[in-house]
Copies of this chain bind each other. A is one copy, B any other.
Amino acid sequence: MFTDMLSRFVEQCPGAVGAVLMGFDGIAVDQYYLPMEQIDLGMVAVEYANVLKEIRNAAEILKTGELREVSIVSASYQVLIRTLGDEYFIGLTLKREGNAGKGRYLLLRDAPEIQAALA
């Protein structure tokens, strides 16, 4: 069920290579990735979760309110993250030249549907 939702992100967002639905504990609920060579997907999952936990701690300490979105741009990839309540988040990975604006829009649009399906 979630795989269909995740594949939509990858298919509708130019330059997207994969999407994952994951708990803040680092355990993936579901994922959908295009065949790739350069990224170890198991590692990606664990690293996503570590980064998110650090950012969530920071947001709590700084009282900036609940964490909503994170985007990370590196030389070869972009990662867009959208939180779904307290327990889950979606991570969308794009190539550097991918359309991050479209990715953010799709995550925002479909987050309520996925969150409802998780409940």
Contact = CB atoms under 8 A, between A and B. Distances in A.
Interface of A: 38-40, 43-44, 47-48, 50-51, 54-55, 57-59, 61-77, 79, 96
Contacts of A65: 74-77, 96
Contacts of A55: 51, 54, 72
A73 B68 contact: yes
Contact of A54 (B38, B50, B67, B73): B50
A58 B96 CA distance: 16
Q: List the 4 shortest-distance A-B pairs measured between CB atoms, nearest first.
A: A65-B75, A47-B58, A65-B76, A69-B73
Given A47-B57, A48-B58, 9 more contacts: A50-B58, A59-B72, A65-B74, A66-B75, A67-B72, A69-B72, A69-B73, A70-B70, A70-B71
A67 B65 CA distance: 25
Given A70-B70, A71-B71, A76 B58 contact: no
